[in-house]
Structure 1
Amino acid sequence: MVPPAGPNPPNPQLIQQFLSSVLSQRGPSALPYSEDTKWLIRTHLVSITSAYPSLEPKTATFTHNDGRSVNLLQADGTIPMSYEGVTYNIPVVIWLMDSYPRHPPCVYVNPTRDMVIKRAHAHVNPSGLVTVPYLQNWVYPSSNLVELVKNLSAVFGQDPPLFSQRRPNPSPNPNPNPNVGHSTSSVSNSGYSSYSGYSGSSGSVNHARPAIPPRTYPPSPYGSSGSFSRVQADDPNDVFKRNAINKLVEMVHGDMAGLRKTREAEIEGLFNAQAVLRQRSEQLNKGLKEMVDEKEGLEQQLQMVLMNSDVLDAWSRENEGKTRGSLDGDVDDAFECIDPLSKQLLDCTASDLAIEDVVYSLDKALQDGSIGIEEYLKNVRSLSRKQFYHRATAAKVRAVQMQSQVANMASRLSHYVSS
């Protein structure tokens, strides 16, 4: 048996132009790859299409498990696999995720309608997701797509992931050769060599396998951009089931997207409310701190007022009996000094003011011509010397009184603090 000819190899120049165009897009339609890795992504895809012309770079929509959809690059086509000396073509889709090439791509086996994924395969799960050691040990930037495909070809050659699903032929086969009928049901129109008993592309060797009843599988979650045409007509029941499943998936995805938008709006509102509450909390804390500081200042002022009030009360009690009898007599006797320093300060101040009055009277006498200039200067010089002495003595007395008053206030303040 000779398999049908495969698709024409793609034009390398067109592929490079396509990759340059999609990777240079900006705005909402830009691919979600980092700018510093786009050139490396282009190099990887050009290298894999040169080494494996059956793989073609495309852009398609990838739907995550949480319902998010993103436009990504993929390498769609077949990779060769050698099994028991016969070469087969395995349809795969290699998705370059948004974190590629720092993280490995996502590889799916893309079976045609005549193919079935092998149960309990070591490296392919029922949905077609491929997990091989090369993907698990992906190292940036040394790992690349060409080595990945080589590794996939070697792993699939040891344990093929697909086998052909036999289906009963509704019309009798006029050809008595059973191999011809078998090749009709195991070869797809798109040029992929599927295998039931592993019918290869370099021979017609058939290995017997147990008959497997027809089974239907829902479409794989890695997109719907496949271009595999089928020879056999679709069963109406299968079409109805597939359409129903697709409709349910679309409804679920739509509900999830709407619910996600609603939750995002609610979360955004909560974040805004949290920011407002945080700002108000800062304002309240600032106001509370100002109130505490003001309270401490008022308490200090209250202590000073109370202390001064006690001082005035004490002075009033001490001098209450002394002032009652002196109000009717001479006004000079109304004031009495309580200590020698006060009496000395009073005498110095009185003498200073008296000398000030005498100097003023001498000025008037000089202007009137009552005294001569020599007598005026002599008297002013003598009075000024005495006035300087009285002022210096008063300054010293004030300094001593200030020290005594500060010491007295300190002792009273310590009394209030301790109490």
Structure 2
Amino acid sequence: MGPLSSQLGPESWLRQVLGDQGQTRLPYNNDAKFAVRQHLLDLVSEFPTLVLKQQQYTHTNGSTVQLLMADGTLPMYYQGVKYNIPVSIWLPEAYPRQQPIMYVVPTSDMIIKPQHSFVDPSGMVFSPYLRNWIYGRSNLVDMAQDTSMQFGHDPPLFSKPPNWAPPAQPSSTSQHPDTFLAHNPIHRRSCSNVRPTSLPTSAKLGVKNNLQELFRKSAIAELTKRLQGSLARANDAATADMDKLFEQQAELTRRERDITRGVESIQAERHALEGCVLEMSGKAAALGKWLVENEKKLVSGEVDADTAILPADVLSKQALEGQAEDLALEDTLYSLDKALQNNSLTPELYIKQVRALCGKQFMVRALGRKVANRQDQLRRAYHNAPTAAGSLRRDSVPGPSHVQMPQGDSWTSVGILSNPLTQGR
């Protein structure tokens, strides 16, 4: 059977020939037909210059069998110029477990390069990809691409020189199987229907270009390209790692600042607490001393209520007097309210007395407010006073040895008295 019909596409034609169960059925296993079909479709899709056919193949032992093949040309790039290499790719009976059989098919004006690295005199190709064929991983597309690249490194065909005569071949096929393949019309047929671009002559290749040097340069270029790609990927990975490290460094720096501020805050709080502990210890000692001195007086009745609490300074005295006067005015106003309720006082007289007492109470509370503000200023000066040598000493400013006394209904921040227990400080 020749090439596929023009009315059928590759997929339909393969479905037809692989599904044939008659006398012309192909020798492929049923479980391998799907892989055969898919590999051939991928091959002709990637290389449109190949045509699918069903042909009779002759083995080296003389037996013949109908096999599928792809016939046409593969591109080869040599010194920047594209050439078309005529090839035929056969799929043996055990494909894809067995590697395909590939031949270079020179036209009448071409010859196969003598002592080629992977093409024998009969045109059979045994490239590294074919020699290392792996079932389940290898396929026709990768094989064709690899072979095309290998052809570019070492071209298998040359233009036939003038007056060229083929070397003598032994007549016995049993002595040299390649001779049988070389004279097999299936493999050495004319490819006049596929004419590749003229290839360089052997003279030009031998004189102008050293194939080994060309291969070395190509290998160096390929290795350089791969190395550059690897370095680029490594550089991208290193850049990504560095970006992550910079982000981590910024986060650690921020956390370091937060921790430093936290430590400073804790240290300041510790110093403040230590000062409070010292102050409370001093006050506790003074209170203990006062209790020891006055317990006996309390039992014997020698404690004078009028001298138990004394103002420590002029401001404390003013606060105490103002508070006492304010409380007295509060009591007077309360008594007037009761008298009015009991009809002991006329409303006109009640209003007159309340107006007079409230005016006086206002002045007393205003004075108490001024005294409280002044005491607050002195208290802040005491806490903020420096203790270095030659500077203001804290014991020269009235200390916070004050207690807050209850006031009238709205006066709650005046009447600050000194604690008599700390007057000796």
TM over 0.5: no
Q: Which has the higher contact order (CA 8 A, sep 6+)?
A: 1
TM-score by length of 1: 0.40
TM-score by length of 2: 0.39
Larger radius of gyration: 2
